[in-house]
Amino acid sequence: MTTAAAARGEASVAVISGASSGIGAALAQAYAQRGWRVVLVGRRGSALDATAMACAQAQGLQAVDPSRLRLISVDLRDIQAWREHAVRLLRDWGCPQVVVAAAGISHGVDLSHAPDLQVAGEIMHSNWLAALGTLSPFIAPMRARGSGTLAAIASVAGVRGLPGHAAYSASKAALIRSLESLRVELRGSGVRVVTVSPGFIATPMTAGNPFPMPFLLDAQAFARRALRAIDRGSAYATIPWPMAVLSKLMHVLPRGLWDRVARLQGRKPRREPPEDDPS
């Protein structure tokens, strides 16, 4: 909490993108339960309303209190529109203590199909560029203050390429490396950069996976563990821990062996038509 905010008796602020559902919604509720003021960011207004009500209940309230919950309905792929919302947020609520880029999409692609190249571009835009755009407006204010945490939800899928995941694995690998670059740039500034890489989490994104999902966690259990990693300022955290062990093994396997192992993994279903609605 900033000194000025503490003097006013205001709670810390967390900004959560992808708050319409899944991991983002679970993280928002976890911060609300802590008594933080929470900014819910997502594209689907009605789903944001549902998350806001769940957050209010986590705060022990029967209705949403606008002084404790702020809803921003915006397509994060529109970076300029998001920056305008962020400027107003900084003016009204000050610089947040934590920003988590949790929005993302996942679809299988078959690169032999021309329409899937458009899907691949959308996945890269949503999972990489829009995630960086989510954090961008808060970098300079946090650095000027000398504190804050910038976090993003990556994926174990970013460690190695998986069948059908030519776009998703690439988008998460790009996000991991970009966050690593940002962490190095901000070292010594007081601003922490946290990469959280989930394994399989029970959300709408994974509901249609036609293959086994080892170490599957529900979103609420994941959120509790992710908050601990964000509190610690962990540079990189894989959740749950058995998936961390598996991902380290994935990382070091020789390419030939990885190719044989990865072929055993089922493919993520393709999406038709090529358009989507990131949360």
Among this protein's residues, is 168 annotated catalytic?
A: yes
CB-based contact 181:224 (threshold 8 Å): no
Pairing mode of beta strands 37-42, 69-73: parallel
Q: 109: buried, middle or exposed (CB in 10 Å: 19+, 13-18, 0-12)? A: buried
Closest among 239, 220, 90 to 153, alpha carbons compared: 239
Tokens of 54: 């769940």
State how far the Cα of 34 lies from the Cα of 36, in Å rounded to an integer.
6
Which of 36, 128, 138, 168 is labelled catalytic?
168
Beta bridge partners of 202: 218
Closest among 47, 56, 68, 49 to 29, alpha carbons compared: 56
**Residues designated as active site:** 168
